Structure 1
């Protein structure tokens, strides 16, 4: 029998979000209902509200979530009711060309729940990233549930579901940061600071944080940045070179996703260095026109990082355990805890750069 729960819904493009009563059906085959304990407010949710993803309104927002499995559908294995899980939007299929090549973090056929959550009117909801967790309960594909150590707080664990994992993975999985490397991170919001934390965790020697906001640069030091550069007052490329013996960084991570920051990243890397694009560009943006000789003469790698190239079943439990050991300060990402009806206010704070993460706590 479908359950009535409260949830945050974007009814139309650019409209303030509202708390609505929605219907969550019983799980079908391969599905699970999860009682949500906490869910972070991510910029992607704001993109959905603004129509920046698609126009499939109304959207059930929220996707950086942790909670407890309440019910499972037919054929579900690997999770049982009562399991504490982090929700992920990469439920790998195991059978696409990427999975068959042993690279499931590039799965081309990730799946979501087939049954639909609806408004009381019966209108179907489009859950953000197939999750929709600004809700007391949500319906997901069972593969979107990743079990982790229940000793971790849900406010912290849920953040691995998107932004924090994207940043840490950009450094470790995509960028291949290792002991002694020099790393520069351009853009010190939640994803950029997570990349800094990932670089420190991997043993990087020099970690350079770049932003235009001194508040964010101060936050970056809390996550392990050894140097900071204000792009308003310093030449980013030349300063990074000065801090790396005149060579440039081994790995430069663009956590902004604009043509000008990508070009800075390109020229701020060492010969044979790596550029990682993890900031999400908008559709109209184009790459800078650079002489082809610049690509040939510098070598190295230019990479994009999808979800930190993570495999949730491998990475989420490991990162939670590192946090519980005191080696990964995930709690520092939580700026404030809020109620469900404060999501619209949290969007404004996020847009103004006043928070790293607001987290809805149920």
Structure 2
């Protein structure tokens, strides 16, 4: 859902470069199960060369797909990169191995604020190492909307009706309402959840074209959607880079918003544990992590030292991420969210 299919890396070129660069001698193969286009080819190529290994990558496009495949018994992967709720689940279910900090000198570059956000499941990097923190928020087409408050209240504006959309994602959209009302997006309180649902149904939903989790980036780029609640990367990926500053204003309201924290974990049956640890440490060399930031235009929040090496302007300032809250596993209370979300969706029919 949240990852985007941007043709910025050539898969064929990557496979050719990795395997043609390896000699005929037998080499260990590091098996990475990764989000599509999430680790730059340049990083994988450098890793393979430095550690005299092969790199094989399989891809997934949702946490659910990754988790289901592993639970179904898929073998052979050494490392994967789940989001916070699935990282928590995988830790609880014994699906991952502990991080060997003696092999992780670059842990000194991990932002303590990022670990504070992970306090609900792994604040000491016992089982996981943060890779990317990214925010949901509001994207406004500045060529279409000239005067606006940087708040979720924008979705209450009837003059923008028919030109706005919010995520077709229960936790993100209800999270936006909860944060606007001053509550945690992980609340399980019935009154707070009811209040958030009523806000969406009565104030925001009448002004939306629809709830959309996949096509809002393209519709924003085409000019059909002027205001979108969702992930910045979805919008930035569809608007030509030379038009980003002219067209897009992405912001997180002062009340905060939902975010995801993707972390590297070594799988329980990994055959190449030491290579996986090397990859984790390699990824967090500041000059290497900067390549990830430049490729996908994320701010260097997880590894702030990398900002010294970045060459491109990120989608939003690093300070934006200080306001976000992670969507966590709410356990049995998820049924409360689901019941209200069905009511919200039914109101859209």
Question: Whose strand proportion is higher, 1 or 2?
Answer: 1
The structure with the largest helix share of the pair is 2
| TM-score past 0.5 threshold | no
Q: Which fold has the larger relative contact order, with Cα–Cα distance below 8 Å and residues 6 or more apart in sequence?
A: 2
